[in-house]
Structure 1
Amino acid sequence: MSGRVALVGAGPGDPGLLTIRGLRALEAADVIVADRLGARSVLDGLAADGVELSAEVVDVGKLPGHHAVPQDAINELLVTLARDGRRVVRLKGGDPYIFGRGGEELAYCRDRGVDVEVVPGITSAVSVPAIAGIPLTHRGLATTFTVVTGHDQIRSLSGGPDHTVVLLMGVGTLANSATTLARGERGGECPVAIVEDGYGPRQRVTIGTLDTIAHQAAVRGVRSPAVV
């Protein structure tokens, strides 16, 4: 008997932002392979709301700089579970395809003959600024936006003040990112907001400019997870 894998986006961590299709996949699952950010808090929130899931939960959560379960091992785990005839949900924070390595997991499973369904999730790149009252586009102010990873230091990014930049995993490289972006058309006075722990108990917003934000973040002790 062959099982299957569903890559499900858990959203930013609020169970109310999990899609109905994602919830149905969780309810039908035999095993849930869960990330730390977003995924675990959604499972906890569903339980608190009285939603009972019968699936076994395997925690493969990652901390910054420490991978509890290496990606290669996660890939192999999904295939092994599916080949055992299990209905597997790979529950990933945000959306599986937005810096979530969902494409890698999809390709690995399909290359080994495992059927995969993808259930999109609400990415923190959009939802976390929204809860802080920050639209990524606004008529007459911002006409486009770009989502980039701050995991590695950015070297350049085109665009001016009307081009919103959303930086994920960017707290550790914030000073470099701010300096790099200030050199371009945006300039040092371009406004910046950092939203920590969006939808979580530590949610906090820090507002400054490209010239000041790194210092402000240091003074306030800004920590991950955060969206810049």
Structure 2
Amino acid sequence: MARVGTVTLVGAGPGDPELLTLKAARLIETAQVVVYDRLVAPEILAMIPDSAERVNVGKRTHHHPVPQDEINEILVRFALEGRDVIRLKGGDPFIFGRGCEETARLAEAGVPFDVVPGITAAQGASASTGVPLTHRGLARSVRYITGHCKADEMLDLDWAGLADPETTLVFYMGKATIRLIAQKLMAHGLPGHTPVMAVASATSAQERRLDSQLDQIEADMAEHGLESPVIFLIGKVAGLAGRRDSFRLIAQARDLRAKEGCHA
């Protein structure tokens, strides 16, 4: 019986190549075949060996040159040819990464698979900006929501539940729908002065940040024109961005570790 290869879904993290896990880096550097997304950083793609076959299946808003069903079949086909495949995805494969659809198809085809988690964009943006996702007295919980939905799907969200002043909301891929997001949250009771931080290309050298509030974010985004990918942190913790207290403390801790010769 011919050997069936293994497909490993690998989270590439939010952008900074140093945020890769050790396991992810090892797998990338020894890969036979890499099927990768648009948001994987160039520095991470540079780690792929020259001997490996590369397949770009990247998608962006309203432009899906390789549909998801076809991506699923590409993974199955390589594995059935006996080749081990790295499916390299930005962030974490199971957080708005459609990883479950891919593993379901692999399981159906009898292809063995594994998953290597990655730091997601919310965690990366939190760390790079110094804005915590939870904070005693400000946010008791955090919710991740995709903003990349059809209009009717967005309307069906539990907006009353989302408009909780003690919850941090993290909207992924919400640049095109931030107007609707802000309107619905305010209509369900979240104050217009609720802080909002938009972060583009979090943790990368191209990272840009925009401090705003719920009733101004649409206008501010139109004026400042942050390029995708953009993630929105909404809630009281985003107000810490104005003080940068948490960012200053993080920077001081890093400097101290460096002076003492410690490595994180």
Report the TM-score range of the alignment, normalised by the length of the smaller protein. Answer: over 0.9
Structure 2 residue aligned with 1:198, among 197, 202, 207?
202
Residue pair 2:133, 2:168 contacting (<8 A) in 1 also: yes
Higher mean C-alpha displacement, 86-95 vs 152-161: 152-161
Give the corresponding residue for 1:38. Answer: 40
The within-5 A match list for 1:1-228 is 1-38=3-40, 40-44=42-46, 46=47, 52=49, 54-152=51-149, 153=151, 154-155=154-155, 156-158=159-161, 159-228=163-232
Residue pair 1:79, 1:112 contacting (<8 A) in 2 also: yes
- Unaligned 5+ segments in structure 2 are 233-264
Identity %: 46
CA distance in 1, matches of 2:26, 2:95: 22
Letter in 2 for 1:209: Q
CA distance in 1, matches of 2:20, 2:146: 23
**Once the 2 structures are TM-superposed, how far is the Cα of residue 136 of structure 1 from its aligned partner?**
0.4
Deviation per residue, 1:45-66 (Å, 9 max, x gap): x47xxxx564221111112110
CA distance in 1, matches of 2:145, 2:116: 22
Deviation per residue, 1:5-62 (Å, 9 max, x gap): 0000100121111111112222332100000103555213x47xxxx56422111111
Residue pair 2:17, 2:41 contacting (<8 A) in 1 also: no
**TM-score, normalised via structure 1 length:** 0.92
Structure (1 or 2) with the greater strand fraction: 1
Aligned residues: 223
Higher mean C-alpha displacement, 194-203 vs 119-128: 194-203
**Once the 2 structures are TM-superposed, how far is the Cα of residue 143 of structure 1 from its aligned partner?**
0.8
**Structure 1 residues 28 and 41, CA, compared in 2 at 3 Å: closer, same or farther?**
closer
Q: Secondary structure, in 3 states, of the residue corresponding to 1:36?
A: coil
Q: Secondary structure, in 3 states, of the residue corresponding to 1:172?
A: helix
CA distance in 2, matches of 1:227, 1:116: 29
RMSD over equivalenced CA pairs, Å: 1.5
Residue pair 1:8, 1:91 contacting (<8 A) in 2 also: yes
CA distance in 1, matches of 2:16, 2:83: 27
Which is higher, the Rg of structure 1 or of structure 2?
2
**TM-score, normalised via structure 2 length:** 0.80
CA distance in 2, matches of 1:39, 1:72: 24
Q: Secondary structure, in 3 states, of the residue corresponding to 1:145?
A: strand
Letter in 2 for 1:162: E
Q: Secondary structure, in 3 states, of the residue corresponding to 1:194?
A: strand
Q: Secondary structure, in 3 states, of the residue corresponding to 2:18?
A: helix
Deviation per residue, 1:163-214 (Å, 9 max, x gap): 0000000000011101111122321111101001112333111111110111
Residue pair 2:12, 2:40 contacting (<8 A) in 1 also: yes
